[in-house]
Amino acid sequence: MADRDGKIWKDGALIDWRDATVHVLTHTLHYGMGVFEGVRAYKTDEGTAIFRLREHTQRLFNSAKIFQMTIPYDLETVMAAQREVVRANNLESCYLRPLAWIGSEKMGVSARGNTIHLSIAAWPWGAYLGEEGIAKGIRVKTSSFSRHHVNVSLVRAKACGYYINSILANQEATADGYDEALLLDTDGYVSEGSGENVFIVKNGKIYTPDLASCLDGITRDAVLTMARDLGIEVIEKRITRDEMYCCDEAFFTGTAAEITPIRELDNREIGPGRRGPITEKLQSLFFDVVAGKAPQYKHWLTLV
């Protein structure tokens, strides 16, 4: 990914893609404390628009606050910079990756004395779990790794180091031939995927785990809002894995994964083993929303 043309915003300026490097003694590289976002921009009739830019940028600042990292720019500047990166790379639709990290002035567990840096890259990225996954659903395996405990990691933050847990889970599931992992919390209840929130549908109602151990996903929030607007009851509660085996439909949500149906969990078909009608309805509305075709959700889009 490093060797390509294009521009990356780094510490206040657009620079050539290949020049956006860091030193090997970068604190974040050694200890994992850095925060980032995943954001998507979509093509609309009025031009390219970023989905929920303010919410993503606010979550980046919240993540930094949780770790006492002071991003040396204000929210508006970071929002403007993301728009600038999409424009500078002439991208019609893309994924954006803002990342704040601790610099290389000083080694040691204490981060004090290091500068905080910020970069923003953007590139085209198709369906994270595949186009076929979006249409037909994916096969998921419950992980042997638990999701973060609230007093071990601070899960309201989207932090670099947390993804070791995600990689372990995803690696294990994909090595066994599944598409993605489902992680349980430390009490054994359903938490989330390695990079997605999870939902189930049962008797026309939608359920999703509360936010104790999973990321406060922005797509999750969009789905909750859209479902309620469609008149579907949504309940946030603890979910067990056997409850999920016996549900009618299940799906993952995320900026990268968008809305991806789950057709199988631990070798048990979910419902009839294909995308269910409520999942399809939400997917179709979601893709209309991001493409600017749903006027009631226009406030979620920021033209670049």
Q: Which residues bind ligand PMP (CB under 6 A)?
A: 38, 158, 166, 192, 195-197, 214-215, 217-220, 253-255
User: What are the φ/ψ torsions at residue 114 (nearest 5 degrees)?
Assistant: -105, 150
For residues 103 and 193, which CB has a smaller minimum distance to ligand PMP in the complex? 193
Q: CB neighbours (10 Å) of residue 268?
A: 12
Taking the complex as a whole, the smallest distance from the CB of residue 97 to ligand PMP amounts, in Å, to 11
For residues 142 and 166, which CB has a smaller minimum distance to ligand PMP in the complex? 166
Query: Which residue in the list 10, 136, 158, 237 is annotated as catalytic?
Result: 158
CB-based contact 51:286 (threshold 8 Å): no
Taking the complex as a whole, the smallest distance from the CB of residue 106 to ligand PMP amounts, in Å, to 29
Calculate the alpha carbon distances from 206 to 25, 32, 37, 182, 221 in Å.
47, 35, 26, 18, 13
Rounded to whole angstroms, the Cα distance separating 112 from 96 reads 28
Taking the complex as a whole, the smallest distance from the CB of residue 40 to ligand PMP amounts, in Å, to 8
CB-based contact 196:166 (threshold 8 Å): no
User: Annotated catalytic, 293?
Assistant: no
Q: In the 8-state DSSP scheme, what is residue 161?
A: G
For residues 14 and 101, which CB has a smaller minimum distance to ligand PMP in the complex? 101
For residues 28 and 197, which CB has a smaller minimum distance to ligand PMP in the complex? 197
Helix (H) or strand (E) holding 262: strand 258-265
Taking the complex as a whole, the smallest distance from the CB of residue 191 to ligand PMP amounts, in Å, to 9
For residues 255 and 260, which CB has a smaller minimum distance to ligand PMP in the complex? 255
For residues 7 and 286, which CB has a smaller minimum distance to ligand PMP in the complex? 286
Closest CA to 112 of 186, 225, 33: 33
Closest CA to 283 of 200, 223, 224: 223
Rounded to whole angstroms, the Cα distance separating 268 from 201 reads 16
User: What are the φ/ψ torsions at residue 296 (nearest 5 degrees)?
Assistant: -70, -15
Closest CA to 206 of 178, 179, 225: 225
Closest CA to 38 of 257, 202, 234, 250: 257
Rounded to whole angstroms, the Cα distance separating 148 from 88 reads 37
Rounded to whole angstroms, the Cα distance separating 184 from 104 reads 36
Taking the complex as a whole, the smallest distance from the CB of residue 25 to ligand PMP amounts, in Å, to 27
Residue given tokens 């226009």 in the structure block: 298
Taking the complex as a whole, the smallest distance from the CB of residue 263 to ligand PMP amounts, in Å, to 20
Q: Looking at the annotation, which residues are catalytic?
A: 158
